[in-house]
Amino acid sequence: MNEMAPTARQEREAKLEGMGCRRKRVEDIRFTQGKGQYVDDVKLPGMLFGDFVRSPYAHARVKKIDATRALQVPGVLAVLTAEDLKGVNLAWMPTLAGDVQMVLADGKVLFQSQEVAFVIAEDRYAAADGVEVVDVEYEELPVLVDPFQSMAPDAPVLREDIKDKTVGAHGPRKHYNHIFEWSIGDKEATDMAFAKAEVTTKDLIWYHRTHPSPLETCQAVASFDKVKGELTVWGTFQAPHVVRTVASLLSTIPEHKIHVIAPDIGGGFGNKVGVYSGYVCAIVASIVTGRPVKWVEDRMENLSATSFARDYHMTAEIAATRQGKVTALRVHVLADHGGFDACADPSKWPAGFFNVVTGSYDFPVAHLVVDGVYTNKAPGGVAYRCSFRVTEAAYCIERAMDIMAQKLGMDPAEFRLKNFIRAEQFPYQSALGWEYDSGEYHVAMRKAMEVVDYKGLRAEQAAKREAFRRGGTREIMGLGISFFTEIVGAGPSKNCDILGVAMFDSCEIRVHPTGSAVARMGTKSQGQGHETTWAQIIATEIGIPADNIMVEEGNTDTAPYGLGTYGSRSTPVAGAAIAMAARKIKAKAQMIAAYLLEVHEGDLEWDIDGFRVKGLPEKFKAMKDIAWVAYNKPPPGMEPGLEAVSYYDPPNMTYPFGAYICVMDIDVDTGAYKIRRFYALDDCGTRINPMIIEGQVHGGLTEALAIAMGQEISYDAMGNVKGASFMDFFIPTAVETPHWETDHTVTPSPHHPIGAKGVGESPNVGGVPAFSNAVNDAFAFLGATHISMPHDHWRNWIAAKTLGLHG
């Protein structure tokens, strides 16, 4: 037959729905019909329910726990305390940060809503009733909520279990409330650069404490089979295999007898990476009672007790020439970790990837110091839609760059353009130790400026400022610019591990005789669309239509060992494993095709969905035909079947980047703001599904809006949580959320098998400083240098009042 016409080739490509196709999300078929299967949908015969007694105090000794009245409540079967857990060596559990954490209060409590006792009952209502009548006698202790007072000479001792330890998991401790000090960079060269600098800035930039607040709270069902000695746990786990390993280490149950299943998950955003007391107590309760036990936290518990995000107090200094060329960066961070260092951080460093704080800029020298301290707040430090403190780093440098531009009298966009890492410098070695893989920063920034008509916006702003000075308007206009470089793809074993397990990821692909396939991964989607995009990668690589590929995740009995989904590591790590596994299958398929076509393997070339002989296009074997032969009559000496497994430990991180511009108007008399325009250009390397990328950007920007413009977990002086419900914690609706404009450039990663970099975290990383810079830019001409987040109406009004605008 003749060479296929272009239209026929296009039809074949379209049938695959491979990479680059705007394929609709296949998982949405069940989600939009309410057919998803979540943890709370798990109902087992004889299932019990657990609920926590929680401390009303932020710091207190637990003098006595009396469960007598609770055990008299109809339906209540047992009440677990720390003393009970000590009998099975489970009173304390390890954290990902190298600390240990109480499962239930052992002698004292360190934050409000800390778990004190676990009530087990026949139903949720009986458990809740039992919680109300557990009598706990507390002795209040002095409360510490200000991290700047943590290492004061007279500060209260928080962690009495380690108060005399002079060395922690990450080196020497300077104080009984000190956790770690981490420094990196060239201090001497940086200090010298500052001493010689023509212009310097120094500002305290606080990234406030917030919370991921996923739609579905943390939950678990544990079922222990005493006959088989096997434990099955269903849970809201972003990393099921890691949970299985931790459960085995804690319980001493052999790992092969533990089955962990993560069904559909209603959002994670980092909140579901760690191991919580509810998981451990449900497991213990099931072992003790011999019946399945379910634990489901409510919204107030989730906001007040599960892992927080951010709470970084960053002192940033930039040195520059009068012409606007940066010469050095110096940053000190005071990190508030709460009562335990339970930071969900798999990197080799206690502050994660914060040393990407040099951002997108060519700083010749830099020095960073991070001090972690304990306070009487909930523990955590999760990667809330970011990659292990990268969001804090991006906010720090983007605010600092705006502050320096203001001092120099330069336009913030032009200041950035002057200091970007140039395309010819890649792969680029940063002053704080990273090797950036690829980037076209100037191209992205100039495209963004051109699309939004940046010069026209600045001219409009100048006119509005003049009108404001004349009293013609009470509205001010801000242009917020953010140019971020993120570091994602947690996986290189030289940089990352979880409790010693390297941060690789995995894929197993099995092609069936009829040409369909099943693919199993070590990742776990919480809404990212893996069932859609993973099939697209495979479709492109081996020529099987995406609709004929079933993707499975979340079951440790069937999926190969993987480190899960968070920190935008799925595409950079698991996506690579998928491509490598598919290529192993393609290599075997090529041998079969060569045998069938009676040519040497080297005489074949890949053509969309099969192999053809070079120069003889009529001699062709489709992948579907090859699959049948692999099981029916493979070449002599070849094993039957067509399947492969790949474990991928990446050689480097990936570095997506983007240029965001926010146009905002603020009424100085009310503090009310209006986001008139938000443009987001992302470069995530090779784009697998543009529609899913846009959805990820929309979702991430909405979360960035929430964080920058009002979302906060705050505490009063007594350690009481002031934002423990959605009445006090900002969750944007369609009313508050503006229209998002998305755009892109494509700079593939040179070391990734398909050139992809990841995008899930980028809009939060870049969005927050864009919003904050817009607010600060609006007030800058009135004399403001730095106004802290969150920028809600009240704080905007206070800023205007402080600047004397309400006279």
Chain center to CA of 560: 22
Backbone dihedral angles phi then psi of residue 582, each to the nearest 5 degrees: -65, -35
Look up residue 655 and give its two tokens.
């570095």
Quick one: which of 388, 394, 350 has its CA closest to 370?
350
Amino acid at 460: E
Residue among 301, 398, 761, 795 flagged as catalytic: 761
Q: What is the DSSP string of 612-663?
A: EETTEEEEEEEHHHHHHHHHHSPPTTPPS--EEEEEE--SS-B--EEEEEEE
Indicate the SS3 state at residue 688. Answer: coil
> Counting Cβ atoms within 10 Å, is residue 230 exposed (0-12), middle (13-18) or buried (19+)?
middle
How many Å apart are CA 212 and CA 310, to the nearest integer?
A: 10
Torsion sign (Cα): 275, 280, 281, 285: positive
Cα dihedral 782/783/788/794 (nearest 10): -40
How many Å apart are CA 631 and CA 629, to the nearest integer?
A: 5
Catalytic: 541? no
Residue among 21, 218, 343, 386 flagged as catalytic: 386
Tokens 């005399």 -> residue: 164
Angle, helix 762-780 to helix 690-709, in steps of 10 degrees: 40
501-502 and 497-498: which strand pairing?
A: antiparallel
How many Å apart are CA 237 and CA 393, to the nearest integer?
A: 27
Whether cis (ω within 30° of 0) applies to the bond prior to 147 is no
Tell me the chain's radius of gyration from C-alpha atoms: 28
Quick one: which of 564, 492, 557 has its CA closest to 526?
564
Say if CB 335 and CB 374 are below 8 A apart: no
How many Å apart are CA 49 and CA 219, to the nearest integer?
A: 11
| Cα end-to-end span (Å), the chain | 85
Q: Tell me the residue ranges of DSSP E strands in 275-412.
A: 293-296, 309-320, 326-336, 365-373
How many Å apart are CA 780 and CA 787, to the nearest integer?
A: 10
Catalytic: 139? no
Q: What order do you get walking across the sheet with 199-210 strand by strand?
A: 178-185, 365-373, 326-336, 309-320, 199-210
User: In angstroms, what CA-CA distances link 699 with 144, 192, 380, 734, 764?
Assistant: 35, 43, 23, 12, 9
Indicate the SS3 state at residue 728. Answer: coil
Catalytic: 124? no
* DSSP for residue 103: S
> Counting Cβ atoms within 10 Å, is residue 370 exposed (0-12), middle (13-18) or buried (19+)?
buried
Catalytic: 385? yes
Quick one: which of 755, 692, 657, 800 has its CA closest to 21?
692
Q: How many CA atoms lie within 13 A of 645 on its CB side?
A: 9
Backbone dihedral angles phi then psi of residue 3, each to the nearest 5 degrees: -55, 135
Quick one: which of 747, 742, 767 has its CA closest to 691?
742
Residue among 385, 416, 569, 687 flagged as catalytic: 385
Quick one: which of 198, 220, 210, 213 has its CA closest to 48?
220
Amino acid at 644: A
Q: What is the DSSP string of 165-196?
A: -SEETTEE-SSTTEEEEEEEE-HHHHHHHHHH
Residue among 238, 461, 526, 696 flagged as catalytic: 238
List the catalytic residues: 238, 385-386, 761
